[in-house]
Structure 1
Amino acid sequence: MPLRHRPFLRRRRATALALASIGSLFTLAVTGHADATPAAPSPAKITAKPRAGALPASLTPARRAALVKGAQSAAANTARHIGLGAKEKLLVKDVIRDADGTTHTRYERTYAGLPVLGGDLVIHDKSGRLTLTKANRAALSVPSLRSKITAAGAADRAEAASKRAKVTGSQMGKKPRLVVWAGTGKPVLAWESVVKGVQRDGTPSELQVVTDARTGKQLLAAQKVETGTGTGQYVGTVQLGTTPSGSTYQLVDPDRAGHKTYDLNQGTSGTGTLFTDDNDAWGDGLPSNRQTAGVDVAFGAAATWDYYKDMYGRNGIRNDGVAAYSRAHYGNNYVNAFWQDSCFCMTYGDGSGNSHPLTALDVAAHEMSHGVTAATAGLNYSGESGGLNEATSDIFAAAVEFYENLPADPGDYLVGEKIDINGDGTPLRYMDKPSKDGASRDSWSSTLGGIDVHYSSGPANHFFYLLSEGSGAKTVNGVSYDSPTYDGQSVTGIGIQNAAAIWYRALTTYMTSTTNYAGARTATLSAAADLYGAYSPTYLAVADAWAAINVGNRIALGVNLAPVGDQISGIGQAVSLQVDAYTTNTPASLTYEATGLPDGLSISPSGLITGTPTTLGTSDVTITVTDSTGASASKTFSWRIAYVYANATRVDIPDNGPAVESPVTITGRDGNASATTSVYVNIVHTYRGDLTVDLVGPNGTVYSLLNRSGGSADNVDQTFTIDASAQPLNGTWKLRVQDKASIDVGYIARWQLTP
């Protein structure tokens, strides 16, 4: 879903501040969460150049528009190709292309004509080989498009939510619209409302409220206001892009699509007046000169535009060549700044006494980066994805500072240090140790998604600092840092430029609206593999930095061999099992060996075990993988060759309907089944708690395998063991499945019996 308006700051009480939502700059801190262990200083930085083919190709607005148009014209065929239902349609949001021609097309979805919130997905096309990244894996289906809650009822609930959020002057922006909510769990019919008003600190409010159309339950309440020659107060003397107009000059940047900078004159709506000057020399560095804030604001917008353009070939916030605009001098004593996607603009207050404007370079970059997130992954501004959204703006704020490296504001890993909101010289946030602000977390925990997004951003900021600079004590551009790690082990940095390139590719290529911290780890590892090679030193550093904030594990050096589960195969039935291994010693090739394989099986040089088993029995198999440096790893598992009977014919399971059956028939066997009969079941279904699953023996005896257990988890992919010794082997065995609740549907994909 699009993000619209987030302020840079959010207040609780007059103590330490931290950057905040509504595209706003900060929120005040109250409690510390120091949970990281000091680590020894890391070795010197890892240096690497990204693979040229994986870098983004620079697209003109016209070329990008042509790619979007082409993708949209093919959307119906694409939807069928990836297996979407007949009621689903794809709407192209963005297309990016790598230098090697690989395209990444980001789609929103509709269902029966309704927008699907959380239904976004990305299709990656590499020379015709398609892979898919989805925000929600659940099958998209709702039992009815008739709402039990009226639009007026949804509006009442949304306005009540706005009042609970302490928003004043609440009024519906537009009447509620019916949508399908797929942001979490199984999709449901819902109402989406946007309530406008004013937050407690004077920041505009656009509260998005999603209400279950059947039960009236609130599914989401999230802010869409996102809170983030001339002489400026913070940037010093800089060059500005201006435009002559008669005998005067306007603060309109001709080199960046005509970006305009306005003076709101302490107003809170509209655009105010365009900054003009008679001699093209703007501001004097003092807040008493109204042009001074305009210089900071205009330069911040230009620097952020240039950073995304020069580093990633991005042509403006939406990559469409269209400029946003900026508004300075918002309100009276307004201590905040915010990005608003609905106006595609940045707005800056003048701070306490209208003399401490929030117009520093990292504030501008933070706010504009909210717009980039909205145009790409669209990270939901709640839960863990909200923390990642806020961290993304902090990450690129730091990256822009280092990119510009102004004498008056050199690059650092502190957020909002120039604006000095607290009046004591302290920054709003510390990326090397976020808990220093008194409220942000240093590391991930299961409770992270329940706290304010400005504090749940802490672990991602910490990850980025560690990936850029490494752990331990060091000084960068005159600022001292001492970054701890959750696991007490050191991290080696790769430099801020490479770290930012990985985050940008992950954001624009692999993240979706629902990405959480575990998903961000997967996305950044995929990005690192694209840019620097899988299991390269840079790739390993990404894994190390995540482990250092308690997300995932470090990758062991040398040969890594994935575990192989115990196997059961049918005698006379073809086998194909791929052994998964890799080495961190690059470049190095792998060789595979296997001992104890059942008769009739062999392993190929690439680790693929194939053949047809010829002898009943169980053996211990040991796989050994060795790389060309001599490093090796081994795994042992058991392989049972038995009589196995399977049925892989799809059987659809009706929703809340009668039971269905899938049979297998055994002939030519003597005696009864085993007391340890094995039944493997593979059912595709988006709510396994709806299902009962039974095995019916040849004499009619029913064995319960699953009785509506597993809750809202997807699918059944499980092996059950039963005592079927009272059953004759010969005859027809049946898998019986029944769906006993409405909404979710699925099918029997495969099952097998080893009696």
Structure 2
Amino acid sequence: MTRIRPHVPDSRQTPTSPTSRASRLPRRLAAGGVAVTTAALLAAALAPTAGAAPRPSRADAIDNAASVLAERAGTFGLTAGQQTEVRDVIVDPDGTQHVRYDRTYRSLPVLGGDCVVHLAPDGSYRGASRATERAVTPATTTPAVPAPKAADLAVNALRSVNLGETLRRLTAKPELVVDALHGTPRLAWRTHAVALDAQGNPVARTVITDASSGAQIDAWDSLESVTGDGTSLYSGTVPLETTQSGSTYQLKDPTRGNTYTGDAANKTDLCFFGICFSRAPSTVFTDTDNHWGTGTTSDRATAAVDAQYGTNVTWDYYKNVHGRNGIAGDGKGSYNRVHYGNNYNNAFWDDSCFCMTYGDGDGTTFGPLVALDVAGHEMSHGVTSKTAALTYSGESGGLNEATSDILGTMVEWYAGNASDAGDYLIGEEIVKPGFGQAALRFMDKPSKDGRSADYWSSSVGNLDVHYSSGVANHFAYLLAEGSGPKTINGVSYDSPTYNGASVTGIGRDKVGKIWYRALTVYMTSSTKYSGARTATLNAAKDLYGAGSAEYAAVAAAWSAVNVN
């Protein structure tokens, strides 16, 4: 029987003024080049002038943005019954401020209600990035479709994408929302449906249902995975910071927010989106001599070494290159679980536990999914969820996946690890002969996987998000390395262009900075490919200037993948 846990907030609650939401280093890892410090991140374009006022604090930015929202409520479509809540704040070195908000209507979350308020160093209004320009007031907040019906519809949707599978412990959690992402704002049920497959591994789907008619508006896979595929163990001998406890050591890093890695003991959990039957263990790995793993799968600690190393490098990349202190930007560490499930061909980030989970693979198609670029990919989903929160369907979902591919690739290059050298292949370490190709995805020509899109078209949003991501992956490769044949780190690439133009790359370091700034400052939950072009051009203008070669290269690379 389907278990129902409806959540219907009190529609009588009155709005409040905008408030903020509460919102690791073995020895320094070898990098492919000189590390970029936080202070130098935007120095070229955004350096403060001599005698400038002190840089505003996070609290200053929130206060300034709150004043703007109060003064410009009509501009932002803020009406009675609406509330705003701060999700993220970025203050540039020159004092420019960017405050990101979520919105509710009579306590109902508004899908597509998010926006970013952009402020000058003195706190004055410069502009905004909005997920939707529409008013977010629905015709009614009383659902005609009851919660149990919405739950059944979501469970059926989960079954339909797992045909042939025996699903157990099915449950669903409907929540009333205002959907402003798909046309005229309307009342909807957002339902998270979860279950266990025949092997005891979790499957999940989020379904948006019209609360008046019962029609499905949208649906997507709720486990932000690397297409159910995997990764490997092999990064060679790596440094690890650990915690001593008596005569033993714990695989817990006090220099990176106490990030740790635990053994899931081949068990699984159903504890997603607030629904919790049981949770697989995450028993912290311990060792007596502080020498971990043997480099073989027969030693359970070996996969833990790769997972912990992947977390460390990802932490360092975001902190040293982008000035972000941890996935959420709050200095708190996440944790890893390895040996999850039985022959589980997947790895995923889960916001509900703020953790990374890795399966061991089936040994035929994939090996253990603990490769470095997979770690960077999955944890970048966590960064996206704390910033733009790109909706995981349609073109926005493709950009969500591409963000993880792009920044996960940057993590791999940043590591400078000779055992897993940087490349523009996704998951190349984890694939086995049974998979039938050399990697999960190929950034220079995404269609080499037989499913991904090289170029934008009006139908690209209909693809699975792991394949619609190809357009942005191709853009990022072209922007970094340029078009045509070349060999990099022993890997051959030959990247075509839609318009036949020759594209000259600006280097991957600049690509990473442009994409990160576009994600954290300009993109919103509804951003599509045309919006991504605008967001990255704005980022390039901020970093390098409107007349710069970098700005022109961004425009050329998007045109080369038919985003104009």
TM-score scaled to structure 1, two decimals?
A: 0.63
**Cα offsets for 1:328-372 (capped at 9, x unmatched):** 111121121111111111111111249921111001000100101
Residue matched to 1:387: 398
Superposition CA RMSD, Å: 2.3
Matched residue of 1:80: which SS? coil
**1:202-245 alpha-carbon deviations (Å, 9 max, x no partner):** 652332222111111111212221104xxx93110010111001
Asked if 2 retains the 8 angstrom alpha-carbon contact of 1:75 and 1:90, the reply is: no
For residues 664-683 of structure 1, what are the alpha-carbon distances to aligned partners after superposition, in whole Å with 9 as ceiling and x for unaligned?
xxxxxxxxxxxxxxxxxxxx
Count of residue pairs the alignment pairs up: 495
**2:292 matches 1:292:** no
Q: Residue 91 of structure 1 aligns to which amino acid in structure 2? A: E
CA distance in 1, matches of 2:397, 2:119: 28
Q: Which residue of 2 aligns with 1:223?
A: 221
Matched, 1:312 2:322: yes
| Residue 492 to residue 213, structure 1, CA distance change in 2 (3 Å) | same
The amino acid of 2:298's aligned partner reads: S
CA distance in 1, matches of 2:372, 2:189: 39
Q: Which protein has the bigger helix share?
A: 2
Q: Write the distance in 2 (CA, Å) between the matches of 1:440 and 1:474.
A: 21
Partner of 2:195: 197
Cross-structure match for 1:169: 168
State the distance in 1 between where 2:466 and 2:134 align: 29
**Aligned equivalent of 1:357:** 368
Distance 1:263 1:54 in 2: 45
**Residue 477 of structure 1: CA displacement?**
1.2
Instruction: Decide which structure has greater strand share.
Output: 1
Q: Give 2:350's match in structure 1, choosing from 340, 349, 363.
A: 340
- Map Cα deviations across residues 176-219 of structure 1 (whole Å, 9 max, x no partner): 22211111211001122211113688652332222111111111
Residue pair 1:469, 1:495 contacting (<8 A) in 2 also: yes
Partner of 2:204: 206
Query: Deviation at 1:385?
Result: 0.6
Which secondary structure does the structure 1 equivalent of 2:312 belong to?
helix
Q: Which runs of 5 or more structure 1 residues have no equivalent in the other structure?
A: 1-47, 57-62, 553-755
Whole-angstrom distance in 2 between the partners of 1:125 and 1:74? 11
Q: Which residue of 483, 497, 500 maps to 2:512?
A: 500
TM superposition shift of 1:66: 4.0
- Which position in structure 2 is the counterpart of 1:654? none
CA 1:381–1:421 in structure 2 vs 1: closer, same or farther (change >3 Å)?
A: farther
Offset at residue 85 of structure 1 (A): 1.7
Aligned pairs for 1:668-679 (under 5 A) are none
Secondary structure at the aligned position of 1:352 is classed as coil
Q: What one-letter code is carried by the residue in structure 1 that aligns with 2:295?
A: G
Question: Secondary structure in 2 aligned to 1:398?
Answer: helix
Describe the SS at the equivalent of 1:392: helix
1:459 alignment counterpart:
471
User: Would you say the 8 A contact 1:390–1:454 is kept in 2?
Assistant: yes
Pick from 135, 139, 157: which aligns with 2:153? 157
State the Cα distance separating 1:485 from its structure 2 match: 0.5
SS of the counterpart of 2:542? helix
Greater Cα radius of gyration, structure 1 or 2: 1
Q: Helix, strand or coil: the match of 1:403?
A: helix
- Partner residue in 1 for 2:257: 257
Query: Quick one: distance in 2 between partners of 1:125 and 1:395?
Result: 28
Query: Which one of the candidate residues 77, 85, 89 is aligned to 1:95?
Result: 89
Amino acid in the other structure paired with 2:515: W
Displacement after TM superposition at 1:521 (Å): 0.5
- Percent identical residues: 53
Provide closer, same or farther for how the CA distance between residues 92 and 68 of structure 1 changes in structure 2, counting only shifts above 3 A.
farther
Alpha-carbon separation, structure 2, partners of 1:283 and 1:213: 52
Q: Give yes or no for contact 2:201–2:268 (8 Å, CA) kept in 1.
A: no
Name the SS of the counterpart of 2:73 in structure 1.
Answer: helix
Taking the aligned partners of 1:104 and 1:199, their CA distance within structure 2 comes to 43
**What residue is the counterpart of 2:288 in the other structure?**
278
Contact 2:344 2:362 (8 Å CA) reproduced: yes
Aligned residue runs from structure 1 range 406-485, under 5 A = 406-423=417-434, 426-485=438-497
Aligned residue for 2:412, secondary structure, equals helix
C-alpha offsets along residues 423-473 of structure 1, whole Å, 9 cap, x if unaligned?
567111110011111111111111100111111111110000000000011
Q: CA–CA distance in 1 between the matches of 2:483 and 2:42?
A: 23
SS in 1 for 2:419: coil
Q: How many angstroms does 1:118 deviate by?
A: 1.4
Letter of the 2:341 partner, please give it.
G
After alignment, is 383-392 or 335-344 more displaced? Answer: 335-344
Residues 313-712 of structure 1 mapped to structure 2, 5 A cutoff: 313-353=323-363, 356-423=367-434, 426-552=438-564
Taking the aligned partners of 2:97 and 2:208, their CA distance within structure 1 comes to 33
Decide whether the 8 Å contact of 2:168 with 2:198 is kept in 1: no
The 1:55/1:332 distance shift into structure 2, 3 A limit, reads farther
CA contact (8 A) 1:79 1:89 kept: no
Quote the residue 2:247 is aligned against: 247
Compared with structure 1, are the counterparts of its residues 55 and 481 closer, same or farther at alpha carbon in structure 2 (3 Å cutoff)? Answer: farther
Which AA in structure 1 matches 2:474? Answer: H
TM-score of the superposed pair, with normalisation by structure 2 = 0.83
Instruction: Identify the residue that residue 85 of structure 1 maps to in structure 2.
Output: 79
- After TM superposition, give the deviation of residue 260 of structure 1 in Å: 1.1
Greater CA deviation, 491-500 or 143-152? Answer: 143-152
Q: Greater CA deviation, 451-460 or 151-160?
A: 151-160
CA contact (8 A) 2:45 2:544 kept: no
AA aligned opposite 2:238? V
Report if the CA contact (8 A) 2:154-2:172 is conserved. no
CA contact (8 A) 1:51 1:530 kept: no
User: Which deviations, in whole Å up to 9, do the C-alpha atoms of 1:632-661 show, x marking residues without a partner?
Assistant: xxxxxxxxxxxxxxxxxxxxxxxxxxxxxx
**How far apart are the structure 1 equivalents of 2:553 and 2:534?**
14
Task: Identify the match of residue 105 of structure 2 among 97, 107, 111.
Answer: 111
